[in-house]
A and B are shown apart, each in its own frame.
Chain A
Amino acid sequence: MNSLFTNILSLRRIEYLIINEHWKIIELSPKINTLADSSNEIQVGKDVRIGFPELIGVEAIAKDIITGEQDNFELKGVIRTEKSVNPIYIDICIANNIKNNQISNELLIVVEDVTERMLLEQSLVQGANEANLLLRTLTASKQYIDQVVTSMADALLVTTPSGRIKTINRSAQILLEYDEVEICGESISIILREIENWQEEIEQRGNIKTPLFGPITPLIKEVETFCQTKNGNKIPVAFSCSKVQTEIEHFQGYVYILRDMTVRKQAELAKQEFLAMISHEIRTPVAAVIGIAEILFNTDLTKHQGELVETISNSGKALLEIINDILDFSKIESGKLEFEEEPFHLISCIEEAISLLAPKAKEKGLELIFSHNPDLPQLIIGDISRLRQILINLLSNAIKFTETGSVEISVTSRKRQVIGNETKDCEIQFAVKDTGIGIPRNRIDRLFKAFSQVNSSITRKYGGTGLGLAICKQLSELMGGKIWLDSELNKGSTFYFTITTRVIQTQLSKEWERESNESDVITIGDEVGVIDTTIAEQYPLKILLVEDYATNQKIITLMLQQMGYQADIANNGLEALAALRRHSYDVILMDMQMPQMDGMTATQQIIQEWEPSVRPRIILLTASIILRKSTSDLPYGIDDYLAKPFRIEELVQVLTKYHLNKENFRKVSDISEIESHNQNDSIIDATALQEIYRIADFNCAVNAREFLIETIDDYLEETPKSLQDIQIAFNKDNFKTLQRLAHTLSSSSATLGASKLADLSAQLEMMIVSEMWQSLPEQIAKVEAEYLHVKGALQQKREKY
């Protein structure tokens, strides 16, 4: 071929080959081998298909081109890749090698380098394909999410960062009665009126970063509120809200999920009402059973009858317990349980629980051990009764399911990290370990579920509702802790639970110091001294605190708790009397100044109403030091006093003096004690009258002088009558009346300072109680004689005022 022509073609990267009908190369252009698959094989005489393997399979076509049936054949975009060079693309065209306008049996193969074009095409196609694939995936993804959102039964709303509603799903449309179109653009607050209250919390929780997905918000707990529908209906809903944070601003905002609570609320209400009604309906007769059983128990019964009545009473109490458990459980479930946040003494609380169950443990011959680390906080804030409830439940179970061995309670504490506004800086862990029957491993998870026990044979053998542990779990969780256990069959179980709390040991004394300008306030030293916490054990006493000032109530109660006592409280004399009529107490801590009925009056009433053998010891809490130091000069009925401010050690002293075993009353020996107290020889103790005067003086509405005179007059009028009655009663062998009269005489005489007369009357009373009938006449005579002296002395004193 013409070399010029060849050169031109070559410059345009076009090469050629001429082959015969047997595919052998006849002629070739100089640079054709650069476009061949293997350059060495392109030689005249060789099969072209070696260098151009893409020609394999074109045989049939080639024949047609030779015969003229087909003009040409093209293969475009064949890629050549060789390891060391960049790929090249070629177009191949096969045509008849026409010579002199006549077809021949030779084929012309033209090969063109089309790399540039193909590379361009590649980018174009690549871009388009990728975009399509991406679009496809996105569409599918969006469809999927849309489906999920649409089919949600809960209402879903999406808002912009500023709170404008963007989307709502179908359930939301139905619930809120709005079309999507109507509501888009409106603020979320037209649906959720109080949303601002929660904004801050949502923001606060906003920034937990996850490694893969960027920051996410955990949904805040479901909050119960009301939503407003288009027609103005208020529907109770539970809503949760989450912040959506992506990089694209258009895709940010908040997601709200609303759940219609109407049915749930109605059900809850119905349940509460039902429970309240049921509890009342059941409690009333049960209380009657218990009450009447108690009354019956105190009547004349044979031993056998007594046992039967006790059974009735115990069953009644057990039933009441079950009802209370059920109510507790239901209250906790519906979130209605209220917890106290009061300071209390931790160890006392534990010891109370222990002492309640000690008898049962003793009965079974089980050892009860209590151990704690020495730096356990003394005073913590929380709900003492709920904590005690858990302990009692666990201890009761431990004892119930243990035949031999021991039950050990151990307590440890540790500081915990405080986050934000939290105040609970301490975690306390309790462990109740028993050597009982244990629990099989596969039953452990059922244990804390309501109404389930390990198995039904347990219910039959040991009784119980199966609520106890469920309640313990709820209570401990509500107190910021958790509950769990270890157990081994036939070896025993250890139940653990924790609570979180705030330690306030030092804080309490600071509180007291702040109010120390008031004279009536008790202050305590800077240290709460180390007090023996087993005092209550050694000297068991039922204590009534009669005091109206709240701070003092708290302080004294705490002092008592430190010693291990749990005192009852009355706010004034009237309440004290009411309390005494309900229970018997060993000791009364009586404040002097109280509204409605003051301490002195109350004391008088108590002396009148109850015999010395059953009467509580009265310890006066007085703000003044008018009372002398010796106890012999105390007004009759007052056994001791504490001058405010007093230290806890003084309280300890006073209480331990008056520990009393309830069954004992003062025997004959006490009589001599009373006698020896009568040091004062004067008939009338002037200070007693002064005391009356002083007490009256405190009361602004009363003229002290007149009051005193009146008091003396009353006494002088009443006493002769009493003496007469005493005589009559004695004659009639009416010893109960006689005792009462002697008692009254004694107390009234003491009030007016006629201590000798008071003592004689008291002795008389003692004799009656001790059934010393022979000594009575003589004693009565002494009393009468002494009265005459008293009468004279009082009249004298009376003149002075």
Chain B
Amino acid sequence: MSTISKKICLIGDYGVGKTSLIRRFVDRQFSDKYLSTVGVKISRKSVEATDSQQQKKLKLQLLIWDIEGSNKFKGISKSYFQGATGAIIVGDVTRPESLDNISEHLQRFLKVNPQGKAAIALNKSDLIDAEFLEKYRYLYSFSNNSSFVSTNTTSAKTGTNVDEIFQSLTHSMI
């Protein structure tokens, strides 16, 4: 292949906004309507990244795996994580329990991909006062973990920090 393909997974509880983040990043669109994802949907996006070491501009094809949210009927199949270079763990700031589950999702991912990189997206930031967002960012950072890339408060609705989080993850995967 002429371009390098990198697989990244979006993981998190149901309804946190994984599909919306991808839609915003890939299609530049947003819809209020909630449609549960089942199984997995794979989207492709070409990005450019600069390799800081080799001072080269690289063309990457991101294979973004939109994985169904965890629910009570079944656990998430580990097979989906297979071969992923990176992951974005997504939580909903208006639902504290989804934030609490971030760490578990992270562990499960790293178990399959110990060398993988992970960024945390605290999504739906448009629904919360700015003063709380900082607090959450701080709370849900895993800086002592070598796989940890960054924690961002994102909003798929407004687009805040969406490109940033994909970019920072991509950059870390080079």
Contacts from A to B (Cβ < 8 Å) = 53-54, 56-61, 73-79, 81, 89, 118, 121-122, 124-126, 128-130, 132-133, 136
A74 nearest CB neighbor, chain B only: B79
Which of A74, A77, A122 is most buried by chain B, counting CB atoms within 10 A of its CB? A77
| Minimal Cβ-Cβ distance residue in B for A47 | B1
Shortest distance in angstroms between B3's beta carbon and chain A's nearest beta carbon?
12
B34 in the interface, Cβ–Cβ < 8 Å?
Answer: yes
Residue pair A56, B83 in contact (C-beta under 8 Å): yes
Q: Which 3 A-B pairs have the closest CB atoms?
A: A77-B39, A57-B83, A126-B36
Tell me the nearest residue of chain A to B39, going by C-beta. A77
Given A57, A79, A122, which contacts B36 in the complex, CB threshold below 8 Å? A122
Nearest Cβ distance between residue A495 and chain B, in whole angstroms? 46
| Closest partner residue, chain B, to A121 (CB atom) | B38
Cβ of B148 within 8 Å of any chain A Cβ, yes or no, is no
**Given A57-B84, A128-B71, CB of A73 within 8 Å of CB of B38:** no
Interfacial chain A residues near B39, Cβ < 8 Å: 76-79, 89, 118
Is the Cβ of A126 less than 8 Å from the Cβ of B71? no
* Shortest distance from the beta carbon of B169 to any chain A beta carbon, whole Å: 16
Residues of A within 8 A of B34 (CB): 126, 129-130, 133
Q: Say yes or no for B56: interface residue by CB 8 A criterion.
A: no
Contact partner, B38, options A61, A122, A133, Cβ 8 Å: A122
- The B contact surface, by secondary structure, is loop
Verify A75–B41 contact, CB threshold 8 A: no
Asked, given contacts A56-B63, A57-B84, A59-B83, whether A75 binds B40 with beta carbons under 8 Å apart, the answer is: yes
User: Is B72 positioned at the interface, with any CB of A under 8 Å from its CB?
Assistant: yes
Q: A57-B83, A57-B84, A125-B36 are in contact. Are A81 and B7 (CB under 8 A)?
A: no
In this complex, which of B39, B42, B44, B82 has the most chain A Cβ atoms within 10 angstroms of its Cβ? B39
Mark each residue of chain B from 38 to 61: 1 if its CB lies under 8 Å from any CB of chain A, else 0.
111110100000000000000000
In the complex the two chains form, is B42's CB within 8 Å of A53's CB? yes
Confirm or deny: B140 has a beta carbon within 8 angstroms of a beta carbon on chain A. no
A124's contact among B15, B73, B77, B79, by CB below 8 Å, is which? B73
How many whole Å from B45's CB to the nearest CB in chain A?
Answer: 13
B14 within 8 A of A: yes
A137 — nearest CB in chain B belongs to which residue? B94
B71 A125 Cβ-Cβ under 8 A: yes
Shortest C-beta distance, A36 to chain B (Å), equals 13
Check A129 against B71 for contact (C-beta < 8 Å): yes
- Which residue from B40, B72, B82 sits with its C-beta under 8 Å from A77? B40
In the bound complex, what is the Cα–Cα distance between A129 and B41 (angstroms)?
Answer: 19
Q: How far is the CA of A181 from the CA of B41 in the complex (A)?
A: 55
Determine which of A53, A77, A129 lies in contact with B69 in the assembled complex, contact meaning CB atoms within 8 Å.
A129
| A residues near B63, Cβ cutoff 8 Å | 53, 56-57
Kindly list chain B residues whose C-beta atoms are within 8 Å of the C-beta of A122. Answer: 36, 38
Q: How many Å lie between the Cα of A58 and that of B82 in the bound state? A: 6
Number of A-B contacts (CB under 8 A): 77
A125–B82 CA distance with the chains assembled, in angstroms: 24
| A46–B63 alpha-carbon span in the complex (Å) | 20
B38-A129 in contact (CB<8A): no
Determine if B42 and A54 form an interchain contact, defined as CB atoms under 8 angstroms apart.
yes
9 contacts between A and B (CB under 8 A): A57-B7, A57-B83, A59-B83, A60-B82, A74-B77, A77-B39, A77-B40, A121-B38, A129-B14
Please tell me if the beta carbons of B35 and A125 are within 8 angstroms of each other in the complex. no
The main secondary structure of chain A at its interface with chain B is: helix
A78 to chain B, nearest CB (A): 6
B73 and A125 contact, CB distance less than 8 A: yes
CB distance from A108 to the nearest CB of B (A): 17
Q: Report the Cα distance A76→B71, complex, angstroms.
A: 16
User: In the complex, A498→B64 CA distance in Å?
Assistant: 73
Q: Say yes or no: is B108 at the interface (Cβ < 8 Å to chain A).
A: no
Given contacts A125-B38, A129-B34, 12 further A-B contacts (CB under 8 A): A58-B82, A60-B82, A61-B83, A74-B77, A78-B40, A79-B41, A122-B38, A125-B14, A125-B36, A125-B71, A126-B34, A132-B14
Decide: B82 and A57 in contact? CB cutoff 8 A.
yes
Task: For the complex, give the distance between the alpha carbons of A78 and B37 in Å.
Answer: 11
Expressed in whole angstroms, the minimum distance between the Cβ of B112 and any Cβ of chain A is 11
Chain B residues with CB under 8 A of A132: 14
Residues of A within 8 A of B84 (CB): 57
Residues 133-164 of chain B, each 1 if its beta carbon lies under 8 Å from chain A, else 0: 00000000000000000000000000000000
Tell me if B40 and A79 are in contact (CB < 8 A): yes
Question: Does B35 contact A126, Cβ atoms closer than 8 Å?
Answer: yes
Instruction: Provide the residues of chain B in CB contact with A79, threshold 8 Å.
Output: 39-42
Does B95 sit within 8 A of A, measured CB to CB?
yes
In the bound complex, how far is the Cα of B80 from the Cα of A295, in angstroms? 111
Please give me the residue from chain B that is nearest to A54 by CB atom.
B42
- Chain B nearest CB, measured from A39 CB (Å): 17
Residues of A within 8 A of B44 (CB): 53
In the bound complex, how far is the Cα of B66 from the Cα of A79, in angstroms?
A: 10
Mark interface residues in B68-92 (1 if CB within 8 Å of A CB, else 0).
1101110001011011100000000
Taking a contact as CB atoms under 8 Å apart, the answer to whether A129 and B83 are in contact is no
Q: Are A81 and B73 also in contact (CB < 8 A) when A57-B7, A57-B84, A129-B15 are? A: no
Q: Please judge, given known A-B contacts A57-B82, A76-B77, A78-B42, whether A133 and B36 are in contact too, CB under 8 Å.
A: no
The answer to whether the Cβ of B103 comes within 8 Å of any Cβ in the partner chain is: no
Q: Is B5 an interface residue (CB 8 A)?
A: yes
Residue in A58, A59, A79, A124 whose Cβ sees the most chain B Cβ within 10 Å: A79
By the criterion CB–CB under 8 Å, are B95 and A56 in contact?
Answer: no
List of B residues within 8 angstroms of A75 by Cβ: 40, 77, 79-80
Contacts of A81 in B (CB 8 A): 41
A132 to B79, CA, bound (A): 27
C-alpha spacing A121/B35, complex, angstroms: 12
- Contact yes or no, A136 B38, CB < 8 A: no
The answer to whether B82 and A61 touch across the interface, beta carbons within 8 angstroms, is: yes
Q: Give the interface centre of B79, B84, B95 by most chain A CB atoms within 10 Å.
A: B79
What's the nearest-Cβ distance from chain A to residue B172, in Å?
Answer: 17
Q: In the complex, what's the smallest C-beta–C-beta distance from A715 to chain B, in angstroms?
A: 104
Q: Which residues of B contact A130 (CB under 8 A)?
A: 34
Interface centre among B42, B69, B73, B84 (most CB of A within 10 A): B42
The residue of chain B having its C-beta at the shortest distance from the C-beta of A120 within the complex is B38
Nearest residue (CB) in B for A127 is B36
Chain A residue numbers with a CB within 8 Å of B40 are: 54, 75, 77-79
- Nearest chain A CB to B33's CB is how many angstroms away? 11
A424 to B34, CA, bound (A): 58
How distant is the Cα of A619 from the Cα of B36 in the complex, in angstroms? 101
| Chain B residues with CB below 8 A from A60, complex form | 82-83
Interface string of B1-19 (1 = CB under 8 A from A): 0000101000000110000
Please report the C-alpha to C-alpha distance between residue A236 and residue B41 in the assembled complex, in whole angstroms. 68
CB-CB nearest in chain A for B44: A53
With both chains docked as a complex, state the minimum distance between the C-beta of B40 and any C-beta of chain A, in angstroms.
Answer: 6
Q: How far is the CB of A520 from chain B (nearest CB, A)?
A: 82
A residues less than 8 Å from B69 (CB atoms): 129
Query: Please, how many angstroms separate the alpha-carbon atoms of A574 and B69 in the complex?
Result: 101
Q: A89-B39, A118-B39, A129-B15 are in contact. Are A56 and B73 (CB under 8 A)?
A: no
Q: Which residues on B sit within 8 Å (CB–CB) of A118? A: 38-39
B-side contacts of A76, CB under 8 Å: 39, 77, 79
Complex-state Cα separation, A89 to B63, whole angstroms: 18
Cβ contact within 8 Å between A128 and B72: yes
**In the complex, which residues of chain A have a beta carbon less than 8 angstroms from the beta carbon of B72?**
128
Q: Which residues of A contact B7 (CB under 8 A)?
A: 56-57
With A124-B73, A126-B36 known as contacts, the answer to whether A56 contacts B5 (CB < 8 A) is yes
Cβ-closest chain A residue relative to B14? A129
A122 to B68, CA, bound (A): 10
Q: Cβ of B35: which chain A residues have Cβ within 8 Å of it?
A: 126
CB distance from B14 to the nearest CB of A (A): 5
Q: Closest approach, in angstroms, between the C-beta of B39 and any C-beta of chain A? A: 2
Please report the C-alpha to C-alpha distance between residue A218 and residue B71 in the assembled complex, in whole angstroms.
45
Q: Which of chain A's residues has its CB closest to B113's CB?
A: A57
Q: Which of A57, A74, A124, A130 has the most CB of B within 10 A?
A: A57
- Which A residues lie within 8 Å of B68 (CB)? 77, 125
Query: Would A129 and B36 count as touching, CB distance under 8 A?
Result: yes
CA separation between A154 and B63, bound complex, in Å?
60
Question: Which of B14, B34, B95 has its CB near the most chain A CB atoms (within 10 A)?
Answer: B14
